[in-house]
Amino acid sequence: MRFDEPLSLECGKTMEQYDIVYETYGTLNAAGDNAVLVCHALSADHHAAGYHSETDKKPGWWDICIGPGKPIDTNRFYVVSPSNLGHCSGSTGPRSIDPKTGKAYGPDFPMVTVKDWVKYQKRLADNLGIKQWAAVAGGSLGGMQALQWAIDYPDFVKHAIMIASAPKLSAQNIAFNAVARQAIMSDPDFHDGRYYDFNVVPAGGLKVARMLGHITYLSDDAMGDKFGRALKGDKLNYDYGVEFEVESYLRYQGESFVNRFDANTYLLMTKALDYFDPALEKDGDLSAILQDIPTKFFLASFTTDWRFSPERSKEIVKALTDAGREVSYLEFESNHGHDAFLVPMKHYLDAFKSYMSNIEIST
C-alpha cells in the first residue's frame, strides 16, 4: 500500500512517501474490532503465517500461533502483519529507490524507531478501517512495538501481547548489536552503505552479524543438546576449516540470511532496538508512563532466554502492577533460549490461546 502523507520521524527527518507491504489473515468484522496487529522482530517480515507456494520449505515466522484454531484464531480475528519501515521485503527501506535521487537510499535512509513504526502502523490501521486493535502482539522487538502502541494509542489497543520482550536494551544487548554493526560496516564491500551502486553486498560482515545474533537466540543447553562437540567430519583436521557441527550450523545460518536480508536494514533494525526506551521521558519510570492506560497486558518469557531473560519481562510486569494495570505474566520452562517464542510448546500455546479466546469482539 502506497502512502503519500508525509511521516515525520523521531530523528527529525520526514518520509514524504512510502510503501507498506503487509499480509492479512481472516476477515474484518463490521464493527472493525476483531483486528490483531502482529509485529515482527529483528529479522522477520510481514510473512507471519501460512505458505506462499507449495515449494516453500517453511511457513510464516509465527505460523504456530496464527491460523484457524491457533492462539490467534483466524476464525475469530482479522490478523494484520506489516513489514516495518526500513525493511527489505517490500516496505520502503534502504534498498528502495529514493525519489529525490533516483538511486537507492542506502545510508541516507533515515533512522527509524519503534515509535515511528507504531505511527506508521497506525496509518495502515486507519486505511484498513480498523477502529481498535483487539490486540497488538509480538515477540522480542515485536513485543516492544506492542508496548509502544499501548503508550502512544492507549484507546486503540485493547490488549498488548509481549512475548520474550524487554522494556529497553541492557548494555550487553547494545554491545552485541554494536559488534554486529561493526562486522557489517568493516566489510570491504560495505562502501559506506552504498554497496548497491557497486553491485556487491557486504556478505561476510552480514554473515558474521547473523552468526553472532544467532548465538544470543539460543541457550547454552540448546546448543549443547543440538551439537555438543560433534564433529563435521570423522576426525580433527587441525586447521581453520569448519570442524565442529556448531560451526557448520552457524555458517549455514549466516549464509542463508545473506540471501534474504539487506545489510543496511540489519543496521537500522539493531539501532531501533538500541534506541527503544519508552520510559526515558519520565526519567526511566515506566510505571508513570503506564499509569492511565486501559490496555490489558499479557506477557510471557522463557526460562533459558538470556537475550531478554524473564527478569526483563518482570520489569514490565512490575511497572504495570505498580500502575495498577491489568496484566498476566507467564514464565515457561524451555531450553530453546530466546527463540522459544517461535517454538510450538503445549503450555505456551495453550496459555496464549486461552488468553486470546477471552478477548471480546463484536460478532
* 63 binding another protein? (CB under 8 A): no
Q: Is 47 a catalytic residue?
A: no
Q: How far is the CB of 141 from another protein (least distance, A)?
A: 23
Q: How far is the CB of 19 from another protein (least distance, A)?
A: 38
Residue 166 and residue 299: Cα distance in Å, rounded? 10
52 catalytically annotated = no
C-alpha to C-alpha distances, 68 to 23, 166, 334, nearest whole angstrom: 16, 29, 25
Q: Which is nearer to another protein, 293 or 327 (CB)?
A: 327
> Is 241 or 324 the residue whose CB approaches another protein more closely?
324
**CB 322, min distance to another protein, A:** 6
Q: How far is the CB of 359 from another protein (least distance, A)?
A: 10
Q: Are 64 and 70 contacting, i.e. CB atoms less than 8 angstroms apart?
A: yes
Q: Would you state the cell numbers that stand for residue 326, as one nine-digit string?
A: 491489568
Is 140 part of the annotated catalytic residue set?
yes
| Amino acid type, 180 | A
Taking CB under 8 A as the binding criterion, the range among 47-55, 112-120, 275-283, 346-354 that sits at the site for another protein is: 346-354
Q: Is 317 in the site for another protein (CB under 8 A)?
A: yes
Contact (CB, 8 A) for 128 and 35: yes
- Compute how many residues bind another protein; rule: CB under 8 A: 19
Candidate list 89, 91, 96, 140, residue with the active-site label: 140
Q: Is 324 in the site for another protein (CB under 8 A)?
A: yes
* Single-letter code of the amino acid located at 264: N
331 near another protein (CB under 8 A): yes
Q: Contact at 8 Å (CB) between 39 and 118?
A: no
Residue 298 CB, shortest distance to another protein, in Å, is: 9
CA distance 31 to 237: 66
Under rule CB under 8 A, residue 327 binds another protein: yes
Q: If binding is defined by CB under 8 A, does position 326 make contact with another protein?
A: yes
**Residue from 159, 305, 309, 334 carrying the catalytic annotation:** 305
Contact with another protein (CB under 8 A) among 174, 212, 351, 361? 351
Residues at the interface with another protein (CB under 8 A): 314, 317-318, 321-322, 324, 326-332, 347, 350-351, 354-355, 358
Residues annotated catalytic, as ranges: 140, 305, 338
